[in-house]
Amino acid sequence: MTNARRVLVHADKQALAGSLAARFITKVVDLLDAQPEVNIVLTGGTVGTAVLEAINESSARDSIDWSRVNLWWGDERWLPAGDPERNETQARAALIDHVAVVESNVHPFASSDGSLTLDGAAEEYTTELAVAGDGAEYPRFDITFLGVGPDGHVASLFPDYPGIQVTDTTVVSVRNSPKPPPERLSLTLPVLNSSDRIWLALAGSDKASALGLALAGASTWEVPVAGVEGRLRTVFFVDRDAAAEVPGELIATEY
């Protein structure tokens, strides 16, 4: 891919989370000065949750008009509502329960203990995206947060799994996931790439190979993160360990 990807290296996971939180607050305030609302796609995982916690702990947190923020998820584990492993549960505990977000602006995936099947939940989220898109297939996402697995997966789009190649729908059901739980829901790559800005957060030496391969032009089928490209920006926020295999010329000194 040829768009200008940036890799910003931080000393450790804590510094990464703090930097990304500060950038998020500044960007959302700027966006809300120019438009009536924003659409944000959240991710789960250790680093994703740490970023949300850092946003919550920031003294500038309430400079955002949270009533004009819409929250979505890139993927979700097919587990009962409130399960501590659900991305929604983690996001609520880390940030959502502490700010003045309008509940109708929070758009979680359905849970396994509800009335829907896995495929039914995928269809429901597809419909919700279209309704919020006001005639388009999905809303215009302003910022999408993504984590990256050691195998290079993003959201719940895994290497060598058919979901990574789906382009004709916005949400896929995932079965037999290589990491537990086996059933999941995920936005497809075209939807993720519809975001104006994609911010990927990676920490740890186990992520270095995937990041290096992605930046070296690996195939999306083998390393899904290689296919991630925001409409305006694609930025990797990483710690030193995750940056071990990044060529020096790709490391940026500023956003």
Rounded to 5 degrees, what are φ and ψ at 185?
-125, 145
For the cut 70, the answer to whether the pLDDT of residue 48 exceeds it is yes
User: Between residues 210 and 133, which one has the greater pLDDT?
Assistant: 210
Domain ranges of the chain: 10-231
The pTM for the full model equals 0.94
Rounded CA-CA distance 202/152 in Å is: 11
**What average pLDDT does the segment 138-146 reach?**
94
Which residues are 238's β-sheet partners? 9, 202
Instruction: Specify the CATH architecture of the domain 10-231.
Output: 3-Layer(aba) Sandwich (3.40)
Lookup: tokens for 119:
């495929």
Flag whether pLDDT at 218 surpasses 70.
yes
**Residue 255 predicted with pLDDT over 90:** no
DSSP state of 225: G
**Cβ-proximal residues to 4 (8 Å cutoff; 6+ apart), any chain:** 234
Please report which confidence band the pLDDT of residue 139 belongs to, taking 50, 70 and 90 as the band edges. confident
Work out the pLDDT band at 254, boundaries 50, 70, 90: low
Q: Report pLDDT for 199.
A: 98
DSSP 157-192: B-TTSGGGG--S-SEEEE-S-SSSSS-EEEE-HHHH
Amino acid at position 1, single letter: M
The whole-angstrom separation of Cα 182 and Cα 175 is 6
pLDDT classification of 170: cutoffs 50, 70, 90: very high
The pLDDT score that the predictor gives to residue 249 is 65
Whether residue 84 is preceded by a cis peptide bond, meaning omega within 30 degrees of 0, is no
| Closest to 35 in 3D by CA, of 65, 62, 73, 56 | 65
